[in-house]
A and B are shown apart, each in its own frame.
Chain A
Amino acid sequence: MSVAELKEKHAAATETVNNLRERLKQRRQQLLDTDVAGYARSQGKSPLTFGPTDLLCCRTLQGHTGKVYSLDWTPERNRIVSASQDGRLIVWNALTSQKTHAIKLPCAWVMTCAFSPAGQSVACGGLDSMCSIFNLNSQTDRDGNLPVSKTLSGHKGYVSCCQYVPDEDIHIITSSGDQTCVLWDITTGLRTSVFGGEFQSGHTADVLSVSINGSNSRMFVSGSCDATARLWDSRVASRAVRTFHGHEGDVNTVKFFPDGNRFGTGSDDGTCRLFDIRTGHQLQVYYQQHGDNEVPHVTSIAFSISGRLLFAGYSNGDCYVWDTLLAKVVLNLGSVQNSHEGRITCLGLSADGSALCTGSSDTNLKIWAFGGHRRVI
C-alpha cells in the first residue's frame, strides 16, 4: 500500500473513531438523568453547616526548609511521611509532633512519597525517574543517612506519584511523565506490569496521579495531562478498563471514594469531578467561582471517611471543603484562623478518618480535626 493510500485509511479511521466517540457521548448524556446534588435535593437532604472553629488546626509540623510536595499517613499509629523541595523525607508522629526520621534523598527533586502498609518502609520518586525505597529500621550510614534499600528504575520520565498496594509491603504502583503507570515487585526491583506506553493503549500524555481502590486493591485509577482519568485492572496491562472524559485540562489528582465504586478527580480546569467506575458516568462536578477572572487549578484532593466531605487544594491558596452530596462549599481551610501561609500542595486523611493533614508551600504540615460539638444519630 502506498503512503497516500495509508494516509487515506488513517483519515477514514480517525473519522470513525470521532463519530463513535460522539455517539458514546450522546448516549451517555441520555443516561445522566440526575447528578448527585440533584438526587440529594430530591431526597430532602439537609445542607451541612460548619462553624468557623469546627475544623481546627490542632498541630503544626515544622521542620522542612522547603515547600512540602507530598504526604502520606500510615494505616496505623498516626505517623506521616512528607517529601519536600528541601530534598528530604521526614517521618512524623502526628500526635506528638515528633520527627522520627529525617531522610536525605540521593536526588533532591522529589515529587511524591508513600508509607508502606506495615509502616516499615517509605517510598519516594521524582525527577530522577526512579522510585527509591527506604527501610526505616535499617542502620544509618556514617553520615547519619538512611541508605536506599531498593531502587526501582525503568521509567523513562519523572515519577509523579507512588502508592503501595494495600495490605502488603511488596508491591507499589507508580505514575510517570513517560505516560505509563507501573506495578513493581519491590523484592526483586522488577516491573511486574506496565500500564500504557508505546505498544499498548493508555494515556497519551504525562500521568500525574494514581489511587488504588481500598475495597478492591486490584483496581486503580490514574489521572493525566491528556485530560482523562483511566481505570485499570492490575492483572490486565494491555488496556484500561475504562477511560473517563469530561475534564478540560490536566487531571492533576485522583482519589478513590471510600465506598470503592466511585473516584474523584481534580484538574487544571478548576473543577473536581466524581465518576462511577461501573458505569463510567460523571456523577457530579464541583466548581465554584473563586474571584473575578480566575480559575485556579485543583492541585490535590481527599475525601473524608464517609465521603460526605471532599477537601480540595487550589493553586491560589484556597482549600475548599465541599459537601459532596449537595455540591456546596462549606468551609475554606485556606482562610480560617491558623491556616497555612502558603498554598496547600497536598492533602491526606488519617486511617481512622479523625484528622486531615495538609502540606504547604510554606514548608509546614498541619493537622486538622473536628473540635466542635458532635451529634451522633
Chain B
Amino acid sequence: MEVVQMQRAWVEYTKSLFREGFLDAQFQQLQLLQDESNPDFVAEVVSLFFEDSERLLSDLTFALEQQSVDFKKVDAHVHQLKGSSSSIGAQRVKNDCIAFRSFCEEQNIEGCQRCLQQVKQDYCLVKSKLEALIRLEQQIVAAGGSIPMEELSC
C-alpha cells in the first residue's frame, strides 16, 4: 500500500474510533505530545496501559470470586483502572469503571460481576483497535511517511 493510502486509512480509522466512543480527546492530547524526538511515546503509553489493565482485570476477577468480597479492594482496583483508562483516553473503559464504582459502593456483587464482564469486553475491543492503529502508524513511518495528525481536525 502506498504511503498516501495508508495515511488516509489512518485518518479514517482514527476518526471512527473517536466517533464510536472508543477513544476521547485525551488520546488526541497524547498524540499531540508525540514528535520526531519521541516517535514511540503513544505506543509506549498504550503498552503500559495494556499491562496495567490486564493486571487489574485479573486482580478484579480474583477479588470478586472470593467467598467474602472485599469491596474496598475491588473499588481500589477499579479506581486505578478508571485513572489509567482516563489518562490515555479509553473512553468506554473509563465509563464502565464509573458504573462499576457505584456498584462497589452499594456492595452489589451481581452488579459488580456484570460490570467486570462489560469492562473486559470493552477493554478487549479497545486493545485490538489500538494495536491496529499503532501497527498502521508504524507502517506509515517505515514507508517514510509521517502521521497526518492535522487531518483529524477536519
- Are A and B a genuine interacting pair, yes or no? no
